[in-house]
Structure 1
Amino acid sequence: MEPFVEQKKDDQPVLFTIERWMNQYPGMTAGFTSRHGGVSGPPYTSLNCGLHVNDIPEHVVKNRMLLAEAIGQPFESFTYAEQVHGNDVIVVSKQEKGLGRLTREEAIQAKDGFITNEKGIILCAQFADCVPLYFYDPVKQVVGLAHAGWKGTVLKISMATISSMTHTFGSRPEHIRAAIGPSIGACCYEVDDTVAARVREVLSDIGAPANLTQQIIQSKENGKYLLNLQVLNRILIEQAGILSLHIEVTQLCTSCSTNRFFSHRKEGGTTGRMVAWIGIT
């Protein structure tokens, strides 16, 4: 069953929420924005939440405010970073709460993984094909969020985020829930030898069998490859100790669905950004 459920309400942004988590754990909020329900004009039509794509900044901030209103949380709770496709994780405290929501200069710098046990902080990361990774420990009441493009994935940002949860807050992997959100799928994500070689290195490091490697990297007749980042991240999350039955994986492809999502690859690099969010209210 698709874990990200579309939410449509009159005069509000169209959102995709992790319905099972939110129903099972009161106070939990987690989801992913679409491209609809905002105020940005072409080519960022209309719910662009990225300040770094040459959209009008006032429109982006308004879109972010609309997201906050739609999920019923104070705008001051939403915390953003400048992502760099790395594997550094930050523990977000009250001191960082709300950073980056208004300007890029005030954002948390050079981080791609975020964890917190503070209620009232909404962790946010921006996407337009990369993989959003969500983590929740219902025992220790810890949430995590990671931005995993191919670079972050092979740098094991997923495992770094889980490790930070365990070392900082005492989370146990067997208690952590994980969700892999909308991203470019294996149906659309063509990569070259350089990327494929890095992926093979990671799979070799974890002792992945040949049939799994072939599932994640599929050769094409043109000498390139189709890469399944969602399955690769799932394998790495399992390697970190999270139980398979605690991992949700979307079937939504951003490149196949530019009617609903922004896609950097499909739209030639000039497009908006969605926001993945997670927090305990």
Structure 2
Amino acid sequence: MNVKFYENNEQRLLGITLKDARLPENNNMALHICQNAAQIISNREELAQLLHTDVTNFVCANQTHSANFVQITEQQVGNGALELSTAIPDTDGLYTYERNVVISSFTADCVPVLFYNDQTNLIGAIHSGWQGTIKEITRKMLQHLKTHENCQPEDMQIIIGPAISQEKFEVDTDVYEKFKALGYADDFMYFNERTNKYHIDNQQTVKKQCELAGVPSTNITIDPMCTFNHEDGFSYRQDRGTGRHLSFIMRK
């Protein structure tokens, strides 16, 4: 299985699955966009085996490009793992204190965010497409964790995973104006006069949101892989029917 690990140690596992032509549906991990649900479950089971856990320890959300986030308790472990109908509804951010639970996020050009705090044993994942970035899901979630979970931002470690690059993320004026209205994204946008399109760096905008929430820049890592350009990437812009990466984080 084609998987990129960001950490694989005695404390935790975190990483992202990649496109893999050797596996069913190119290693698609998403039940909401697939040809055969049984093949997706098989892919997830192979990932679970690689992580030395069971697929029933996964937690998956029904992502809607919202700014909604949920704390996962023991009772919710397994939601969305085997059936789309049991996924955490209308949610794009998940966090937990539970051990041996695989918190997941699905992306194909959108920005996946993984985070953990060793002081509080909290872990989590965020799905931030451009709509989620406009709604500031990452900033809002980190502020919530500080206010309600006593997670100090300076103790957070954040990995921003593969996404569509600024070069390939072309948008029209309407989307540009929404990023412009944030008030801090100007440095991450440029106008291409030849195509009459704006280009936006969604990863850098999300990083800025982390910094505005108080996370030091040195605690944030960005994966430079472009999901549009790279052969290991699922890209919605290239193919509306494409599969999804699964970003994962688990505390042992």
TM-score bracket, normalised by the shorter chain, equals over 0.9
From 36, 55, 60, the equivalent of 2:35 is 55
Q: Is the 8 A contact 2:162 2:224 kept in 1?
A: yes
1:261 maps to amino acid: G
Is residue 205 of structure 2 the alignment partner of residue 217 of structure 1?
no
Q: What is the distance in 2 between the residues matched to 1:32 and 1:260?
A: 11
Q: Name the counterpart of 2:201.
A: 228
Is residue 15 of structure 2 the alignment partner of residue 15 of structure 1?
no
Please give the secondary structure, in 1, of the residue aligned with 2:43.
helix
Q: Name the counterpart of 1:279.
A: 250
Q: Name the counterpart of 2:18.
A: 34
What is the deviation of 1:163? 2.2
Is residue 153 of structure 2 the alignment partner of residue 173 of structure 1?
yes
Please give the secondary structure, in 1, of the residue aligned with 2:106.
strand
CA shift in 2, pair 1:164/1:279, >3 Å: farther
Q: What is the distance in 1 between the residues matched to 2:103 and 2:238?
A: 27
Q: Is the 8 A contact 1:131 1:147 kept in 2?
A: yes
| Structure 1 segment 1-281 matched on structure 2, within 5 A | 13-19=1-7, 22-23=8-9, 26-36=10-20, 39-40=23-24, 44=25, 46-202=26-182, 204=183, 208=184, 213=186, 215-221=187-193, 222-257=195-230, 259-267=231-239, 269-281=240-252
State the identity %.
27
Q: What is the distance in 2 between the residues matched to 1:38 and 1:123?
A: 25
Q: What is the distance in 2 between the residues matched to 1:38 and 1:49?
A: 14
Q: What is the distance in 2 between the residues matched to 1:54 and 1:279?
A: 25
Which runs of 5 or more residues in structure 1 are unaligned?
1-12
Deviates more, 1:87-96 or 1:48-57: 48-57
Please give the secondary structure, in 1, of the residue aligned with 2:74.
coil
Q: Is the 8 A contact 2:34 2:243 kept in 1?
A: no
What is the deviation of 1:38? 5.9
Q: What is the distance in 2 between the residues matched to 1:249 and 1:14?
A: 19
Q: What is the distance in 2 between the residues matched to 1:234 and 1:108?
A: 26
* RMSD after superposition: 1.3
Q: Is the 8 A contact 1:144 1:161 kept in 2?
A: no
Q: What is the distance in 2 between the residues matched to 1:37 and 1:118?
A: 34
1:34 maps to amino acid: L
CA shift in 2, pair 1:38/1:69, >3 Å: farther
Q: Is the 8 A contact 1:82 1:104 kept in 2?
A: yes
Which runs of 5 or more residues in structure 2 are unaligned?
none
1:54-93 deviation line (CA, Å, top 9, x unaligned): 3201001101111111121222111111000010010001
What is the deviation of 1:37? 6.7
What is the deviation of 1:261? 1.6
Number of aligned residue pairs: 251
2:62 maps to amino acid: E
Please give the secondary structure, in 1, of the residue aligned with 2:86.
coil
Please give the secondary structure, in 2, of the residue aligned with 1:108.
coil
What is the deviation of 1:273? 0.7
Per the normalisation by structure 2, the TM-score is: 0.96
Q: Is the 8 A contact 2:14 2:247 kept in 1?
A: yes
Q: Is the 8 A contact 1:100 1:106 kept in 2?
A: yes
What is the deviation of 1:160? 2.0
1:271 maps to amino acid: T
